[in-house]
Amino acid sequence: MVRKGWVTPKAMVEEFEANEYVAACWGVECDVDWANRFEWRQGDYNKGVTHDNIHCGNASNQVIYDDNNDGKADRMVEEGTDGLGNLLCTIYSDDNYSSVRDVSSVKVGQEIYWTTTAADGRTWNHRGTVVASTPGHPNHS
């Protein structure tokens, strides 16, 4: 014979637990007109080193990540390439691309210069302004 017992009712509280960390991030829209003129002067434009509004000209495609939420940039990645995969960005302090700048010094509202390099060796030179969040991706999540 099975014994039946009384179980005292109790309330259970569930807390939200994130299943992954979402980093704060900023976007950068490349000034494609400026960048295409730069590539033309460099002699790389006819080698397929071009800029357009769908790719680097879209602020959602260049993302600066603050991985540890300390208010400082940790890395910049171009994610919206034309079939080249994600490209790590190197940031410079000048439009001659001669002095590498630490990504942690980048702030919202600043104009920055950066390069991206594909596996085939082509390098794109960019210029743009850092924005607080990217359209449609406020936390890039």
CB 134 within 8 A of CB 44: no
Residue 17 lies in a domain: no
Residue 139 lies in a domain: no
What residues contact 66, with CB distance under 8 A and at least 6 apart? 23, 24, 25, 26, 72, 73, 74
* pLDDT 10s digits, 42-77: 999 999 999 999 999 999 899 999 888 888 899 999
CB 3 within 8 A of CB 12: no
Residue 141 lies in a domain: no
| Banded model confidence at residue 136, pLDDT cuts 50, 70, 90 | low
What residues contact 44, with CB distance under 8 A and at least 6 apart? 122, 123
Residue 32 lies in a domain: yes
* pLDDT 10s digits, 85-108: 899 999 999 999 999 999 999 999
| Banded model confidence at residue 15, pLDDT cuts 50, 70, 90 | low
pTM of the entire predicted model:
0.77
Please give the tally of structural domains in the chain: 1
Sign of the alpha-carbon torsion through 96, 99, 103, 109: negative
Distance CA 103, CA 75 (A): 6
| Banded model confidence at residue 19, pLDDT cuts 50, 70, 90 | very low
Q: Looking at the chain, which runs of residues are DSSP E strands?
A: 24-30, 62-66, 75-78, 87-92, 111-117, 123-131
Residue 13 lies in a domain: no
Residue 59 lies in a domain: yes
| Banded model confidence at residue 141, pLDDT cuts 50, 70, 90 | very low
Residue 57 lies in a domain: yes
Distance CA 133, CA 139 (A): 7
Residue 1 lies in a domain: no
Task: State the residue range of the domain holding 46.
Answer: 24-131
